[in-house]
Structure 1
Amino acid sequence: MDPAGRGRYGGLRGFRGFAAPLGLLMRTTPPPTATLPYVLEADGIQFAFGGRVLLADVYLRVQTGQVVGLLGRNGCGKSTLLQTVAGGRRVADASVRLNGQRVVPAYRQPGLLNYLPQVPLLPAQLSVTAAARLLGVDAGAALAAFPELLAQAHRPVGELSGGTTRLVEVLLLLHADTRFSLLDEPFIGVMPIHLETLVEVLRAVKPRKGILLTDHRYEEVLALCDVVYLLHDGRLERLDDPRAGLLDRGYLR
């Protein structure tokens, strides 16, 4: 976890820095006036922690119909960047815009985005079905690619394994009616037998949604993403040739 990302998450209550419940972040009524494609941009993001610069005037862009990967080593600031884009972390001079119009904070804009932190999101006492209802999602549709999950939808989230819980969280957020999903390590703990299907679900959702994700499973990210950014020494670089760029910098062998 990024140093600046530490803190106590409270199920759907959010992470340190959110002044409002994550329920607000997951509003599903889209604003009526914007036109496709929707473009989410963030720039001017600067952040230091413990005397170390994590983010130095970062610019990021993702649009609907894209999966955008954000790669970098542990502790480099990826989680902080996602939190800033979502609006849960206030950073001086940061600007987040939808189709050129500022949205501050982004999570308060109905139907704009949802956010999956590194740590568990769903309250342990809720059943999967109840959690889906809370997010305005049809559990049957969201879990359709995983029949074994449908069979467990009546169970409390706290009774599921960590990897299964993560899979459920990702599926519910992807099927929620928002234009963008920000996913911090969506593949963590997910069994290999499920990972390939999850990647296919991400591809299927992409035409109607913009997805920004970070994960350390670089091969899956490279196979999935239309655009790849690398965060290194506080700088965010868009890689024209992601595989070659990661090989040159020692991220792949």
Structure 2
Amino acid sequence: MKAPRWAGPQVLEADGIKVAFSGRAILSNVYLRVQTGQIVGLLGRNGTGKSTLLQTVFGARAVPDASVRVNNQRVVPAFQTPGLLNYLPQVPLLPGHLSLRQAARLLRVDIDQATRNFPELHPHLDGRLGEVSGGTARLVQVLLLLHADTVFSLFDEPFTGIMPVHVEALATEMQQVAQRKGLLLSDHRYAEVLALCDVVYLLHHGRLLRLGVNPREELRDYGYLL
């Protein structure tokens, strides 16, 4: 059960984030907004700072002057606020020696509920994460964070290594969960992101651009789609 402070619509905002590597500005003009009931996509080429931005919002990367707020209340680092958000990085989040059921208990998730639409996972629930394929382990971790009791979930490359049939089912799962959560995801599978997301941002030359009602056309203009 979420704490009363999380009742009703919630708005997560981030700005003032400036990051440079070797003198080159990676993030310099950033304003990001995610609200409950939304799926927000974050697109951009490799090295543009998408992971850095997600880490900063979550609080894993400390950036001076960065502002992360929920309903105009500062939450830095955000991960220290109970029940607020979770984050799946590109690298595996959970140790391979855990069974799928143990991982679910660690995150306080009902594994049977989280995998109800993925019956092919059921034979693996008592096996270790390190013993299943990389795509299966990725799928399980995405599902566990989706169904964990947080207001927002952040995903960095959630579709990596996942079979196309599972990507489609996972997209449907995200849409269902987004009725009560806010989701922010970054992935190179542009087609899936564009079909799934209510709002799409493009990280381009250090600036975070919110794309309009025709994001495909804008992405073509910026050279991201043929």
When normalised by structure 2's length, the TM-score is 0.97
Aligned position for 2:218: 245
Aligned mate of 2:159, from 180, 187, 194: 187
Name the SS for the 2:5 alignment partner: coil
**In the alignment, does 2:85 pair up with 1:113?**
yes
Residues in 1 aligned to 2:92 and 2:198: alpha-carbon distance in whole angstroms: 27
Cα deviation 1:63-115 (Å, max 9, x = unaligned) = 00000000000010000000000011111110000000001110010100000
Q: What is the number of equivalent residue pairs in this alignment?
A: 225
Residues in 2 aligned to 1:136 and 1:103: alpha-carbon distance in whole angstroms: 23
Q: 1:184–1:214: 8 Å Cα contact kept in structure 2?
A: yes
Shift of 1:150: 1.4
Residues in 2 aligned to 1:244 and 1:37: alpha-carbon distance in whole angstroms: 31
Name the SS for the 1:45 alignment partner: coil
Letter in 1 for 2:175: R
5+ residue gaps in structure 2? Answer: none
Q: 1:30–1:112: 8 Å Cα contact kept in structure 2?
A: no
Shift of 1:34: 4.2
Shift of 1:52: 1.2
Aligned position for 1:81: 53
Q: 1:114–1:173: 8 Å Cα contact kept in structure 2?
A: yes
Q: 1:114–1:180: 8 Å Cα contact kept in structure 2?
A: yes
Residues in 1 aligned to 2:187 and 2:197: alpha-carbon distance in whole angstroms: 12
Aligned position for 2:199: 227
Letter in 2 for 1:245: E
Mapping of 1:149-228 within 5 angstroms?
149-228=121-200
When normalised by structure 1's length, the TM-score is 0.87
State the superposition RMSD in angstroms: 0.9
Shift of 1:31: 3.5
Q: 2:153–2:182: 8 Å Cα contact kept in structure 1?
A: yes
Name the SS for the 2:178 alignment partner: helix
5+ residue gaps in structure 1? Answer: 1-28
Moved over 3 A (4+): none
Aligned mate of 1:128, from 100, 103, 106: 100
Q: 1:65–1:206: 8 Å Cα contact kept in structure 2?
A: yes
Letter in 2 for 1:226: D
